[in-house]
Amino acid sequence: MNIFRLSGDMLHLISFLVLMYRMRGQRSCRGVSLKSQILFLIVFCCRYLDLFFSFVSLYNTMMKIFFISATATIVYWMLTKYRSSYDMDNDKLHGDGSFMGHLPPHGVLGYIIVPCFLLALIWNEGFEAFEILWAFSIYLEAVAILPQLFMLQKTKEGEAFTLLYIFCVGAYRGLYIINWIYRYFTEKHYWQPLVWVSGVVQTLLYADFFYYYWIALRDGAKFQLPG
């Protein structure tokens, strides 16, 4: 494992800890998209089915279990303990400024999940159940952050820990791109265009957020999207 992948994994892990710490400390999930968390839970459950039949390393296994259990815990908290603080009105992909403005709010998850699954049936690394679900998880992860980003767009500003969570998730994917480039030049027969294309798409979705987050940090000002 190279330093870029390890750093990406650590940022991904930190993103969960930041979000859980924030929710526990403030006893609130305001500003957090339940839709994004559900999508990420689906991603991890589909991708890590190999926990039942394949062992790579203790590190690999523990990370997979952590990602699933941490995301499930966040979803559980949002549906139970902190449900009263959940901002359902702003956790939608429709409304002004959204390219999905014509979609019904309660059908949003389906409009994200179904295209990703259909794409997985067309472009995968083997037409088998696990390979299709693995490809589906790759495509779904690329767009799972969309509800969270649109929520941020609607509210125009975010709480510090929530912004740090989004930054860590985006930075993790950025480091993975560097990891892929490194592996391409140092490993023989390393070729995963499916993963590369999805990863680049996912990183590009964070571009606007990164820009305004950096501006706010540079100027010591409160993060705020232009409205």
Give this prediction's pTM.
0.88
Cα separation, 222 vs 157, in Å, equals: 8
In a domain, 151, yes or no: yes
- Report residue 99's pLDDT band, with 50, 70 and 90 as the boundaries: very low
In a domain, 224, yes or no: no
Give the end-to-end CA distance of the chain in Å, rounded to a whole number: 43
Give the chain's domain count. 1
pLDDT of residue 162: 86
Cα separation, 48 vs 88, in Å, equals: 29
Query: What are the pLDDT digits (tens) for 163-209?
Result: 899 999 999 999 999 999 999 999 988 999 999 999 999 888 888 78
In a domain, 186, yes or no: yes
In a domain, 9, yes or no: yes
- Report residue 102's pLDDT band, with 50, 70 and 90 as the boundaries: very low
Query: What are the pLDDT digits (tens) for 120-157?
Result: 999 998 889 999 999 999 999 999 998 998 888 887 77
Q: Is 188 helix (H, G, I), strand (E, B) or coil?
A: coil
In a domain, 102, yes or no: no
% of the chain residues with pLDDT over 90: 63
Cα separation, 172 vs 119, in Å, equals: 24
Contact 139, 116 (CB under 8 A): yes
Mean pLDDT computed over 91-109: 50
In a domain, 169, yes or no: yes
In a domain, 149, yes or no: yes
pLDDT of residue 224: 67
% of the chain residues with pLDDT over 70: 87
Number of alpha helices (DSSP H) and beta strands (DSSP E) in the chain: 9, 0
Read off the amino acid at residue 113: I
State the Cα angle at 59 between 54 and 61, rounded to 5°: 35
In a domain, 69, yes or no: yes
Domain extent at residue 144: 3-87+107-216
Place of tokens 């480091």: 175
